[in-house]
Structure 1
Amino acid sequence: MHKALYRAYRPQNFEDVVGQEHITRTLKNQIENNNVGHAYLFSGTRGTGKTSTAKIFARAVNCINSINQEPCNECDVCKDILNDNIMDVIEIDAASNNSVDDIRELRENVKYSPTKSKYKVYIIDEVHMLSQGAFNALLKTLEEPPSYVIFILATTEQHKIPATILSRCQRFDFKRVTVNDMTDRMKKICNEENIEVEDKALNLIARNSQGALRDALSMLDQCISFADHKIEYKDVVELLGTVNIEQLFEMAKFIINQDTKESLQILNEFIIWGKDIRNLINDLIDHFRNLMVCKVSTDLDEIISLPEEIIDQLKLQASDVDVNDIIRVLNILSVTQDTMKTSTNPRVLAEITMMKIAQPMFDESKEALIKRIENLENRIETGNIKVNTNNIENNSEVEKTNVAEEEIIYETVKSEDVKLIESSWTKIRQSIKDDKQSKQMPVYFLLGDVSSFNVYENMLYIIYGDGFEFAKKRLSDPNTIAYIEKMIRETLNRSFSIKVILESEVKNISLEIKDVKKDKGEEILKELVNEDILEIKQSIEENEHK
């Protein structure tokens, strides 16, 4: 029967414990100086070696032939502990033995001296699962145990343990195992198992384990079964459902270049292959985080745990983007990462995210406003600009246009209804967000990208930019329209009929500056665009004051 790698290669002495030298060294010094404590708390994330270290410590303090404070694993006591044939080392799972009666039984057993070894060692795993009554029952024994008893409490959630328990223990925090340490450990195991493996394949496994060596070994075990003695990078990508590094660089390039179409195309390909969209968002966050590090640091070995050739690619791509843009992208992705945990339609949420990332005009953050200023300034320099403006006449003439065989009138001065909708839009969206039963979070996000509004004869026109055809299609569903009308009615106590349209469907008077003389043209362009820049800068200042 096959034995899992994490079991077959469980550490047998302190030297085998990966990435926890600060703990193993302290424990060995205590054994050497005969200064062993009576209660220890081992805390840290899963798979970092807490239970393994506890078992090694239990053997080390009882070993008859200990060498350099390491258990020999050959004497009778060590063998009995390894084979669970001794009553002096007791491992208790607090998840299934968490009652007051369980702890009372433990207190009774503590009274009896060890039968074969020097110390009785109680290893209580997942100790945070104990009930409050059980903690209280443990308290007195933990405070004044017999001289021959050692308690080792292990937990992944230290914050759930009462302060009265914490104060009676020596605490050791197990760190997440670094990617380099995990890669070295897995490479050693592959050599012993005669498995050929690519370094970047091991690196990918290590990065996806999130600091848990046990998780990494479980993934490696799965890859060995799949690859048949030769593990390649593409095999790991296929098995883990992760994003290929080339795909990440390609998508990041399109995001940096503000190419919405190509960004959505890669997203669509990712979905077609049956990959988890959440993995894509997580990997994009890691990628742009690495780009940010490349911009602000030169010593990247410890900060970015990737092969050298990948780091060189990151440095090259980082040279094409500024830190402000990276921060903007990371902020949007982080919000999406949190929201996606409860989203019923992660694909739509991811598509909206790609639109916001690739087009800063749809993002209201300070970083996006700065980016829009840069874009406007670049357009001034190149003269590549088209300005659309409403025809404002002295008599406030009303301009009419035919949209989808329907007459829509747009006033040069905002009506009171338009002002009401604009001032209440955030409140309306919040009502949709708070309506958990209807599960309309995609509608909440889509309504955040509206370009403008107009009202004519009680018809509310919700207007999107021309790049938002998908939003128009999604929101034009009769059921969705009825839902939005209902939420507006409940929020404002006013009834509107709703129609969703695009800006291209509205007939505006366009002023294209093509034949104007160069000097006069530059003067007009600067005047028009500088007004936009001034407005954006004012928005930034308002955000900063908030």
Structure 2
Amino acid sequence: MHKALYRVYRPKNFSNVIGQEHIVRTLKNQIENNNVGHAYLFCGTRGTGKTSTAKIFSRAVNCTNLHNDEPCNECENCREILEDKTMDVVEIDAASNNSVDDIRELRENVKYSPAKAKYKVYIIDEVHMLSQGAFNALLKTLEEPPSYVIFILATTEPHKIPATILSRCQRFDFKRVTVKDISSRMRYICEKEGIEADEKALNLIARNSQGALRDALSILDQCISFEGNKISYNDVIELLGSVNIEQLFDLAESIIKEDTRKSLQILNDFIIWGKDVRNLVNDLIDHFRNLMVCKISNDLDEIISLPEETIDLLKQQAETIDTNNLIRILNILSEAQDGMKISSNPRVLMEVTMMKIAQPMFDESKEALIKRIENLEQKIESGNIKVNHISTNQTVDNFNENNQQNNNTVEKQEDENIEYENLKGDDIKLVEKSWKKILQKMKEDKNQVIRALLQDVDSFNISEDTLYIIFTDNYSFAKSRLDSPATIQYVEKVIREVLNRSFSVKIALKSQLSNLNTQIKKEDKGEQILKNIVSEDILEVKDSIEKR
């Protein structure tokens, strides 16, 4: 029967415990100075060595042939503890033995002296799972334990343990194991097992383990089963559903260059290959985080755990993006990561996110506004702008071409605008006034994707109890996503609940509704805004020069 790697290579002495030198040194000093405590609390994320260290410590305090404060693992006490044949070292899983009766039984057993060993050691794993009554029962024993008893409590969630218990324990916090240390340990195991492993493959496994050595060895075990005696980078990608590093750089480049089409194409390819969109979000966050680190630090060995050639590529790509834009992108991706947890359609949410991060015009954050201003400044500096010299009257006339003739004055046209607003029906005003409440209700329903798409609505119209939700032409993507029977029914339901009115809902683009053609069609919303701003700025500069 196959034995898992993490069990075969479980450390048997302190020198084999990876990444916890600060804890190992303290425990060995206590053993050497005969200053062993009666209660310890080992805290840390899964797979960082808490239980392994507890077992090594239980042998070390009972070993009859200590060498450099390490258990010999050969004397009678060490062998019996290793083979689980002794009554003096007891391991309890608090997840399944968490009642008051279980702890009362433990208290009764504590009264009896060790059968052979010097100390009776109780290792209580996942101690935070004990009930409040069980904690109260344990407290008395921790307050006045017999001299021959040592308690080692292990937990991944120390904040759930009562303060009365915490105050009676020596606390040791186990750190996440670094990618470098995990890779080194896996390389050692591969050599022992006669397995040829690509360095990039081991690094990818280490990064995906998130600091848990046990998780890394479990993934390594899967890779060996998948491929045999040779583990390649592509095999690990295939097994984990991760993103190839080259694809990640390509996607990041398209985002930095604000190339929406290419971003969506890469995302589509990723989904066609059967990859998990959630993994893509996590990998993108890591990638842009690494780019940010490259912008602010030169000493990257400990901060970015990647091969040297990858770090060089990161440094080159980091030069093409400013820190403000990096922060903007990371904020949007973090929001998407949270949204993925409750989204019923992660793909659509990711597509909306791609559009938002590749085009700052869709983002209303401060960082996005700064980015848009920078784009405008670059256009002005390059001189790559075209401004048509037209009169103010003509501009206004074109803007309202269906309401006014070209020879009308600006003042008269402004009156028309006010009149148009006043002529809006009460139902339209009600929808406009209540739209934020409608979006809030969708947020409460955890329908984040529909809510995100409907935030970009341009206007509304009502005709014969049909509510037209209107987008500008450059939002055809949103229309196609919303225009399904199930989505329409949901939107109608929310509007009915919020407004106490029943409407049939239709999603439309401005070009599809001839009677609402009151504004010029725009090929690109962001570019038109920039052109208008540039036009106004240049006109102001010209007026200022003429006055001089």
Could you state the TM-score of these two structures normalised by the residue count of structure 2? Answer: 0.87
Distance 1:197 1:263 in 2: 32
Distance 2:531 2:279 in 1: 49
Does the 8 A contact of 1:449 with 1:464 survive in 2?
yes
- Structure 2 residue corresponding to 1:490, chosen from 490, 494, 497: 497
Equivalent pairs counted in the alignment come to 509
**TM-aligned CA deviation for residue 358 of structure 1:** 0.8
Matched, 1:455 2:465: no
**TM-aligned CA deviation for residue 380 of structure 1:** 3.2
Q: 1:479-518 maps to which residues of 2 (within 5 A)?
A: 479-493=486-500, 498-503=505-510, 505=512, 507=517
The 10-residue stretch of structure 1 (452-461 or 79-88) with the greater mean CA deviation from structure 2: 452-461
- Structure 1 residue corresponding to 2:396, chosen from 388, 392, 396: 392
- Taking a change above 3 Å as real, the CA distance of residues 333 and 462 of structure 1, as seen in their structure-2 partners, is same
Q: 1:158-197 maps to which residues of 2 (within 5 A)?
A: 158-197=158-197
- Taking a change above 3 Å as real, the CA distance of residues 386 and 207 of structure 1, as seen in their structure-2 partners, is farther
- Taking a change above 3 Å as real, the CA distance of residues 226 and 457 of structure 1, as seen in their structure-2 partners, is closer
- Taking a change above 3 Å as real, the CA distance of residues 393 and 524 of structure 1, as seen in their structure-2 partners, is closer
Distance 1:377 1:395 in 2: 26
2:290 equivalent in structure 1: 290
Does the 8 A contact of 2:339 with 2:448 survive in 1?
no
Q: Give deviations 1:357-384, integer Å, cap 9, x for gaps.
A: 1111111111111111122223334343
3-state DSSP class of the match of 1:105? helix
**TM-aligned CA deviation for residue 431 of structure 1:** 1.2
The 10-residue stretch of structure 1 (502-511 or 362-371) with the greater mean CA deviation from structure 2: 502-511
1:146 equivalent in structure 2: 146
Q: Which amino acid in the other structure matches residue 73 of structure 2?
A: N
3-state DSSP class of the match of 1:62? coil
1:544 equivalent in structure 2: none
1:135 equivalent in structure 2: 135
**TM-aligned CA deviation for residue 16 of structure 1:** 0.2
- Structure 1 residue corresponding to 2:480, chosen from 473, 480, 487: 473
3-state DSSP class of the match of 1:349? helix
Distance 2:185 2:252 in 1: 32
3-state DSSP class of the match of 1:336? helix
1:258 equivalent in structure 2: 258
Q: 1:322-337 maps to which residues of 2 (within 5 A)?
A: 322-337=322-337
1:427 equivalent in structure 2: 437
Matched, 1:106 2:111: no
- Taking a change above 3 Å as real, the CA distance of residues 371 and 42 of structure 1, as seen in their structure-2 partners, is same
Q: 1:84-123 maps to which residues of 2 (within 5 A)?
A: 84-123=84-123
1:210 equivalent in structure 2: 210
Distance 2:242 2:217 in 1: 17
Q: Give deviations 1:249-306, integer Å, cap 9, x for gaps.
A: 0000000011111111111111111111000000000000001111111111111110
Does the 8 A contact of 2:399 with 2:519 survive in 1?
no
2:24 equivalent in structure 1: 24
Distance 1:109 1:523 in 2: 82
2:219 equivalent in structure 1: 219
**TM-aligned CA deviation for residue 475 of structure 1:** 1.9
Distance 2:186 2:483 in 1: 54
3-state DSSP class of the match of 2:153? strand
**TM-aligned CA deviation for residue 435 of structure 1:** 2.9
Does the 8 A contact of 2:42 with 2:50 survive in 1?
yes
- Taking a change above 3 Å as real, the CA distance of residues 84 and 530 of structure 1, as seen in their structure-2 partners, is farther
Q: Give deviations 1:221-246, integer Å, cap 9, x for gaps.
A: 11112222111100100011111111
3-state DSSP class of the match of 2:507? strand
Q: Give deviations 1:185-228, integer Å, cap 9, x for gaps.
A: 00011111111111110000000001100000000011112222
- Taking a change above 3 Å as real, the CA distance of residues 530 and 348 of structure 1, as seen in their structure-2 partners, is farther
Does the 8 A contact of 1:386 with 1:511 survive in 2?
no
Distance 1:386 1:425 in 2: 37
Q: Which amino acid in the other structure matches residue 76 of structure 2?
A: D
Distance 2:249 2:473 in 1: 28
Q: Which amino acid in the other structure matches residue 502 of structure 1?
A: L
1:516 equivalent in structure 2: none
**TM-aligned CA deviation for residue 324 of structure 1:** 1.0
Does the 8 A contact of 2:402 with 2:518 survive in 1?
no
Distance 2:483 2:90 in 1: 65
1:528 equivalent in structure 2: 536
Does the 8 A contact of 1:391 with 1:509 survive in 2?
no
2:361 equivalent in structure 1: 361
- Taking a change above 3 Å as real, the CA distance of residues 467 and 248 of structure 1, as seen in their structure-2 partners, is farther
Does the 8 A contact of 1:453 with 1:460 survive in 2?
no
Could you state the TM-score of these two structures normalised by the residue count of structure 1? Answer: 0.87
Structure 2 alignment gaps of length 5 or more: 405-415, 523-529, 541-548
2:471 equivalent in structure 1: 464
Identity %: 69
Distance 1:509 1:137 in 2: 75
2:421 equivalent in structure 1: 415
**TM-aligned CA deviation for residue 386 of structure 1:** 7.8
**TM-aligned CA deviation for residue 30 of structure 1:** 0.4
3-state DSSP class of the match of 1:299? coil
**TM-aligned CA deviation for residue 466 of structure 1:** 3.7
- Taking a change above 3 Å as real, the CA distance of residues 115 and 523 of structure 1, as seen in their structure-2 partners, is closer
